[in-house]
Amino acid sequence: MTDATEEIPEVDYVEGTGIPIRGNDIDTDQIIPARFMKVVTFDGLGEFAFFDLRFDDDDNPKDHPMNEERFEGANVMVVNNNFGCGSSREHAPQALMRWGIDAIIGEGFAEIFAGNCLALGIPTVTADHETINALQQWVDDNPGEEIEVDVAAETVRYGGNEISVSVDDAQRQALVEGIWDTTALMKANRNAIEETAAQLPYLDQTRSDLEADD
């Protein structure tokens, strides 16, 4: 019996329109408030992304880019430094993905947040402060204009400009080679995993101990 195969898409290039989210140290509680995390699945989390920054206590919209019609349909988020800091909740990138975000360009990302994004196939690419500020201003001035994120080449193109960005080597390899979805990889290689597990002596001992307890 051969292993089942599951297609994992390569994420070497993302294009779309941008949305600027300004501010350093935006933590995961701002991205998805804790009260919205009491869910069985991640479905529907997108509507609660940045909820407390987007709405007041009476659910009236505040002044926030994600409430602006001109950024509707945007899928490339441009952020500042230490984005996604705070708790390690995977709900944060899940909420952004379900809002429609396919890639994030920023000055810097919290390590766990970047890892959680990678598990969803969302590139997190970085550039310096001046470069990001210029890109955010361009997005603000040109809503609906295309941004191209070339993960493989580590470049971003917009409005006739091309800038160099950095992509973590492990992230870049996983995205470009289509090996970022570890769950799918395990499912696709279930037989090989079971065969390897069967050869591990300490697992055999564990099974024997469990059977003896029964």
Confidence of residue 146 (pLDDT cuts 50, 70, 90): very high
Residues 6 or more apart whose Cβ sits within 8 Å of residue 133: none
CA 164 to CA 157: how far, in whole Å? Answer: 9
Extents of the domains making up the chain: 13-180, 181-214
Confidence of residue 182 (pLDDT cuts 50, 70, 90): low
pLDDT at 2 over 80: no
pLDDT at 202 over 80: no
Q: Per residue in 18-74, pLDDT tens? A: 999 999 999 999 999 988 887 666 778 899 999 999 999 999 999 999 999 999 999
For 84, counting Cβ atoms within 10 Å of its Cβ (0-12 exposed, 13-18 middle, 19+ buried), the class is: buried
| DSSP-based three-state secondary structure for 176 | helix
Which residue from 168, 160, 119 is spatially nearest to 142, judged by alpha carbons? Answer: 160
For 112, counting Cβ atoms within 10 Å of its Cβ (0-12 exposed, 13-18 middle, 19+ buried), the class is: middle
Are the beta carbons of 156 and 127 closer than 8 angstroms? yes
Q: Per residue in 186-198, pLDDT tens? A: 444 455 445 554 5
DSSP 156: E
CATH homologous superfamily of 13-180 equals Aconitase, domain 4 (3.20.19.10)
pLDDT confidence of residue 135 = 98
CA 165 to CA 154: how far, in whole Å? Answer: 5
CA 113 to CA 50: how far, in whole Å? Answer: 15
